[in-house]
Every structure is written in C-alpha cells, then in structure tokens.
C-alpha cells in the first residue's frame, strides 16, 4: 500500500512538472529577417530572465510562418505582411494584430551596376530599368513577406517578372541570407530588408543601389494565435510575450538593438 502511494505521488509530480514546463515555453512563428539580424538573440534573454518563459523561434518565410500558425504549430506570430496578417486574424486564427516595429527594404547590387540604378530612390522605375536591361535579379520566390512585397512592387512598375523566370529573373525558393549569397554569386540585384543586409557578412563588392522610397516601408506585426482555433495554444504565455514586446520596456529593447552602430528596427507600437 505504501509503495503504491509513492508511485502515484511520483507520477503526479512528473505530470505537474511536465505541465509547468509547457506553461513556461512558447513557439513563435517568425521571419528569417528577425532571426538572421540577431534581434531575438538580443531580446529573448531579457524577456526570459524576467518571466521564466522560454521562447522558441521558428524562422521561416512569412507565408510559411502563417501556414504553420494556422496549423496550430505555434503560439505567437511575428511577421511582416500586413494584408496577410489581417486576413489571418479575420479568419479566426489570431486574436488580434498590433504594429510592433518597422524598417525598410533596399535593393542591393554589384559595383558594376549593369542596370544603372545606383542612387535611385524610385523603386518602381529602378525595377523597370533592371527588367529592360535584362540584368539578373534574384528573388526569394518563397511567399515570404519580402517576396510578397517584391511582387507588389513589380506589379506597380508594370513589369511581370515571371516572363523572365529562369532567364534574368531567378527564384531561389530560399530565405534572405541564402538568397543574398546566391544573388551575389551570380552577380544579380537582390531586394532585402535593411536589417538583414546590415548584419550580412558576405557583401563582397555589393552596395545598396536603391533606397528611400516610401513604398519600401517594412512594417512588422505581432499576433497571438487564437485558443478558439487552437485549443492547445499556450495563450497566457504567448500574450505575456506579446504584451512585453509592446510595452515601453520591450519597445526600448527593440530600439536599442544595433549592429555596427546602426539601428536595425524602429519600434512603433501604438501607445496604450
């Protein structure tokens, strides 16, 4: 009888420990840009030390991150494709979407600048010149937030890049860092978020060619996954992380993150 009581008690302790561990960890579906830039390496130790909640980041393209969250493979979504984010919430997959931070996109190119777009600030005109000159352009081609933005800019420029697919328009199907490496290897222009470019170490002779257009604005949002859609979601811990990111402390931590003296993300959560 005594031995049986001990076994039951031990089983209860194990179950309680497992439940506690689950309550103290979350999965964030996010983008390669936030991960590759080192932002999470800066933010997560601060949050985890304060709360004891472990944050595990899955860094993929925005489209894949949204799909993963729809499949209940995450507790929080942090991405950068606002129309897709709003559709995610509207469909009942997320509780709410809030602006978190922003930076911008740039187009980088080789020193030779075959298309002659260096120094341009009109991104649609620059894309038209790249296409007309037949200069190589490397696209992520992965339904990421960057890819979605790129396609919208091509559309605004009046160019259908799919007509040059496999010729001057090369789709890598890869993340931002891998696409930059591929683009640099083939001498192609590449559109990238500025944070990844600043952090990127294999620049070789590449420089920013096109920047400064308001159409290159890059907004990030944060969305807790809805427990109504995903009953297994760790809603309380996910909301704690979202609240911290949106708080004065979290916003300050985002703004403080810099690489080589350059700020990578600019907090812009609405004031509570």
| Domain spans of the chain, in order of start | 2-102+219-267, 104-216
The pairing of strands 169-171 and 137-139 is parallel
* Ordered DSSP codes for 111-146: TT-TT--TTB--HHHHHHHHHHHT--EEE--SS-HH
Give the span between the Cα atoms of 227 and 236, in whole angstroms. 10
Task: Give the span between the Cα atoms of 264 and 110, in whole angstroms.
Answer: 23
- Per DSSP (E only), the strands in the chain are 25-31, 54-60, 76-79, 98-109, 137-139, 169-171, 189-193, 207-210, 217-224, 258-259, 262-263, 266-267
Could you read off the pLDDT of 29-78 as tens digits, one per residue?
999 889 989 999 999 999 999 999 999 999 999 999 999 999 999 999 99
Q: What is the pLDDT of residues 207-220, one digit of tens each?
A: 999 999 999 999 99
Question: Which fold, 2-102+219-267?
Answer: D-Maltodextrin-Binding Protein; domain 2 (3.40.190)
Specify the pTM.
0.86
Q: Is domain 104-216 annotated with CATH 3.30.413.10?
A: no
């Amino acid at each position: 009888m005594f031995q049986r009581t001990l076994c039951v008690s031990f089983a209860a302790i194990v179950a309680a420990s497992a439940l506690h561990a689950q309550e103290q960890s979350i999965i964030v579906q996010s983008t390669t840009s936030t991960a590759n830039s080192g932002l999470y390496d800066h933010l997560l130790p601060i949050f985890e030390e304060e709360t004891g909640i472990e944050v595990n980041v899955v860094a993929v393209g925005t489209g894949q991150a949204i799909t993963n969250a729809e499949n209940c493979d995450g507790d929080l979504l942090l991405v950068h494709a606002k129309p897709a984010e709003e559709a995610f919430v509207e469909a009942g997959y997320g509780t709410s979407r809030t602006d978190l931070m922003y930076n911008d996109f740039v187009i980088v190119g080789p020193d030779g600048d075959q298309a002659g777009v260096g120094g341009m600030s009109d991104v649609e005109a620059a894309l038209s010149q790249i296409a007309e000159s037949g200069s190589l352009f490397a696209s992520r081609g992965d339904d990421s937030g960057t890819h979605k933005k790129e396609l919208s800019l091509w559309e605004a420029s009046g160019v259908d890049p799919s007509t040059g697919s496999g010729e001057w328009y090369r789709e890598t199907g890869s993340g931002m860092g891998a696409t930059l490496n591929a683009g640099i290897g083939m001498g192609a222009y590449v559109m990238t978020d500025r944070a990844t470019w600043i952090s990127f170490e294999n620049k070789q002779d590449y420089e920013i060619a096109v920047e400064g257009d308001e159409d290159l604005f890059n907004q990030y949002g944060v969305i807790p996954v809805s427990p109504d859609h995903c009953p297994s979601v760790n809603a309380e811990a996910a909301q704690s992380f979202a609240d911290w990111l949106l708080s004065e402390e979290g916003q300050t931590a985002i703004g403080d993150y810099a690489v080589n003296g350059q700020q990578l993300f600019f907090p812009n959560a609405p004031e509570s």
